[in-house]
Amino acid sequence: MDGCNSTSSFCLPYDGTQTRKRLEEVLKIMGPLIDGEGESLHTSPHLRRARNRPRHEQEETRSLSRLLYFLASAWLRQSIPSADALSSVRFRVVIAHYNQPELLHLCLRTLMHQTHTNWTACIVDDASDPDVVHQVKQLRSIFRSDSRFYWRYQSTNRGLLYSTFTGMECLRPHNDDIVVWLDGDDFLWGDDVLRRVAAYYASDDIHLTFGSYISHWDPIGCCNCSAHNWTHVAATNSYRDIEWTFSHLKTFRFGLVPHVNLTHMKDRSGKWLRSASDFALMYPLLELSGGKFRCIPERLYYYNVKNPLSHHNNRDRSSGNGRSLAANQTDNARYVRHLPRYRPVV
């Protein structure tokens, strides 16, 4: 089946908390009725009419109700995470930024307001200008009371990809922890983003998610989930062959990361890639996941396309090798697509 216009398991929308609550209410009512107990058996007009039906029809109805009750109970136990299961999902949020303290402040506030509170975050300043570093340290004082925030300051600007690995090293995740890749100039769209992502991880055996976002250019939102036949892509390990759709919000179990060859995070000269960072890391992680991923159709992320420092807004700015940042992005994406592919490890 193709994309989110179908019931493909790779991209089903999920709201476990409300579904669990409603289903529990239904089962609470159904239980006494099936056992022939409860006041409602005698007071419900629908059931009074049912009692006047022939006996064999009553037995058929009761047998069908028992079957539905059994199936619903089994689904509730296996498919819908409990509150305890949701709260046990632990996030490690990596936030890299450069020279945008105002946007970083907004980013951190959206993280602080999440209803899911089991997370820690590392903010990596990628050698911002001295006056910006001063502002970032002022931000740190604002968030001082929240012990979930960790801060790192790099002396040399080495790009998003290197900063991302620095952030993961800072947080020291366990293999089952979920790494959230959040750019410092973007922000989470709503206060239940982490709860929704936790529902996916708690309800199924998955190791990675990507999804859908909104932006200034696309206020309705971009849903990447209907772009491809994910079953086919996973079976053929052809992530690098299709159009790029593995976008925000990007999350993954840390246990995949040690299997990534750091040489593949660097260019031909051995320097860390400074563009196409998401290509460089997501392709290996997807391949390592063995198809255990989900595309989340809900818009959970605001992608700030108006940041003047972004590659697509810096077509004339040099990348340090005589080419523009935009041209370097294209070259690096092509280079990454042709790197060796990984075999699944899960």
152 close to 167: Cβ distance less than 8 angstroms? yes
DSSP designation for 172: -
**Dmax of the chain from CA atoms?**
87
Spans of all domains in the chain: 16-34+48-79, 91-338
**Rounded to an integer, what distance in angstroms lies between the CA atom of residue 320 and that of residue 317?**
9
Instruction: Give the pLDDT confidence score for residue 6 in this predicted structure.
Output: 40
The full DSSP string for 6-36 is: TT-TTS----HHHHHHHHHHHHHHHHHHHTT
341 close to 259: Cβ distance less than 8 angstroms? no
Helix/strand/coil for 298: strand
The token duo for 224 is 């990447």
Instruction: Give the pLDDT confidence score for residue 63 in this predicted structure.
Output: 67
- Amino acid at residue number 143: F
182 close to 293: Cβ distance less than 8 angstroms? no
Instruction: Give the pLDDT confidence score for residue 72 in this predicted structure.
Output: 57
Architecture of domain 91-338: Alpha-Beta Complex (3.90)
The structure's pTM equals: 0.78
pLDDT averaged over 10-residue windows placed end to end, the chain, 346 residues: 48 54 60 50 51 67 62 55 90 97 97 98 98 95 95 97 98 98 97 96 94 83 81 97 95 99 97 97 99 94 77 51 70 97 97
Instruction: Give the pLDDT confidence score for residue 81 in this predicted structure.
Output: 79
